[in-house]
A and B are shown apart, each in its own frame.
Chain A
């Protein structure tokens, strides 16, 4: 059973702070890693994808991947109240080219940014 685990929440940070969200995965064959944001009552939307070890930055968001430790994280700098949402980590195993884009999701971390 391929598993994806996220740090337990909820996570509450003050406006302007850095929010750190963490995720571990069990399948060493995993190839692609994603962070989705889901507002209450809405569908998930992709905010970051990462495929290689290291950091990937996009605006206020930085994704970090460490395949040796089977760990992926998302940092949100200068957190805003509008960042309050559930953040879902997702992993595409991609083994042998037969994954067909199937994703395994973590349970999500609820982030609240308070003014």
Chain B
């Protein structure tokens, strides 16, 4: 199992550009999450999903959108990138039964200039 994979690893965007951060998990987990981590800070929840077709906002959703058409994939869309979105983005997944361990992907480091 590859676990949770994210692409790209690094990206530099210009202000106003858009991009999609990809996240895929092969553990058949229903729950998936997007977090951002600013330097020296903890993680803040952007969006989450409890299954295909079901998504909801987290603590800091402004400037982002998500979709969940399959169990495996949970892409995060940035429209009109702003310098405040410079951060490291982590995707995570969790089984909705039994253990509540969240498994994190390796992260995407995004810089908006």
Q: Which residues of B contact A44 (CB under 8 A)?
A: 43, 90, 104
Closest to A32 in B: B100
Interface SS of chain A: helix, strand, loop or mixed?
A: strand
Interface residues in A, total, Cβ within 8 A: 20
CB–CB A103/B90 < 8 A: no
CB–CB A106/B42 < 8 A: yes
CB–CB A101/B106 < 8 A: no
Which of B12-20, B44-52, B66-74 participates in binding chain A?
A: B44-52
Residues of A within 8 A of B (CB): 4, 32, 42-46, 49, 88, 90, 92, 100-108
Residues of B within 8 A of A (CB): 31, 33, 35, 40-45, 48, 50, 56, 58-59, 90, 94, 96, 100-102, 104-107
